[in-house]
Structure 1
Amino acid sequence: MLTDAIKTYQQRVDQVLSQHLHNLDDAAPTLKAAMTHGALLGGKRIRPFLVYSVGNLLNVPITTLDNLAAAIECVHAYSLIHDDLPAMDDDCLRRGQPTVHIAFDEASAILAGDALQTLAFDIISTPIDGLSPKQQLAIVKSLAKASGYQGMCGGQAIDLSATNQRIELARLTELHNKKTGALISCAVEMALIAADASESDYAALMGYAHHVGLAFQVQDDILDIIASTEELGKPQGSDEQSNKSTFPQLLGLEGAKQTSQQLVDDALSELTKLPYNSQLIADFARYIIVRRI
């Protein structure tokens, strides 16, 4: 069921993204091609999955969720394009394909990231059937906060400053709650806003999202050690080669695995507070720590 749902939502958001990119004029064809390469390179579409699955749980029409899912994936795609740049993580592979600055050039990659970020806010600031202006403004604010200084960009800055240093576990956790966790939490929050959810539902599902977001990153750190380059779609061992602090480095591999399992258990505990059948997102939490990609 989970595999089918991930595939269905992946295909759906890819269709929405493709349409938005197709609708751009051809004034800057290289930029448009670089944006398309970065946005449609593949991937499980984890953040759109959470938008769709939580929205469905709360009875939000799927057509209302489409642009929310597309927007958050645009932001995620932009972040990956910029993360791969020589000034950041300097990676040449992403999902088994050349990164944007390799497939095109650095200037095109920078512009493609910038343009995908602004496309995201264009998408969610355009009127959406089923959402009030107040809801859309709240969604815009949620995505902006998760993407910027208080979220993803702030986390990346901490990550860069921590390279070649050994940092404390609390600082590493803060780093990844921002760099990875903020956008995952935002995916859930966007669906909650669209549903006009109750305070109790909001608290439980945001608690779930917080634990899942950190578990996702811990598992990424583990996979960087135990998975192959072919499985990862990017160079294996890149964290170690870049001398980054990771959860396995601080906790040991087994300690990191125990931490990821505890985070999933905590996420599942939050779901027991809901008066709905939350099996799909419960299965997703379990999937986080058994995935190989």
Structure 2
Amino acid sequence: MSMSSTSIHSSHDRKVKYRAILRSLNSEQENDNNEQRMENTAAAVQEVQSLLAEGGVEERVRHPGENYLDSRVLKAASDLAISCSEAVSGMENNYDKHEFALRISENPKFWELTFPREVPVICSLHGTFAPTPPEQRPRAPRRRVERQEAAALKAPENVERLEKTDEASELVNRVHRFITRKCREGVSYYHLVLDPTSFTKSVENIYYVSFLVRDGLVSVYTNEEFGLPFVKPVTTQAQRNSDISDENQFIVSIDMERWRKLISAFGIESPMMVLKT
């Protein structure tokens, strides 16, 4: 086996592990045990670090799909960490006066034991050693220090770009969930992506589906009955057995005129996917 073939197979194995970690983190959102969620999140982060140590820089450049899955896993882990910290901080200040009174009534002797252990108050009848008070020296006036005005805070320029990247990743996840729920038996590609009310949303849907095809989460095939491209989700078992290549992608070239012709030809009156932002 050549070195390039070994690199591809190792990249595929890492992608499968990334997806397994991502599914495990998503399932932790429904776990009510906060301590267990924190332990599972820490274990997932350690496993991701071990996966990062396996591949070199050149291999990451040849397989950018790993970087995308790694960012999704870290995003899910950070969301879990935030929810765990909020749950802990929300329980710190809870005070139930009825429970406090119940504890006092159940343990009356506990409150009596604290008083004998208190340190006795020390009282001295002796005066000071020096009969005359110390001489008070005049204090020098303090100098007023002119403070410089604080410079105006400058926000980093890449914050808006990062927020847009997180928003795009969330929209891709919503498209994947929609296809998994509604299109298990396959659905027409053009009916899925075309939005008769907006050309811009149609182009965005085309790109979102292309990202899912690239990552091996959905497949595009030709329907034998209609002769048109259809879309259906890829099962978890199929993702593990298939050798996903980073070059697999399906993007349809479209302009305003073709968009109108396709909507008219297929009789599309309303969008199939409505992604709420």
- The alignment's TM-score, normalised by the length of structure 1, stands at 0.28
- Pick the structure with more helix per residue: 1
Q: Between Structure 1 and Structure 2, whose CA radius of gyration is higher?
A: 2
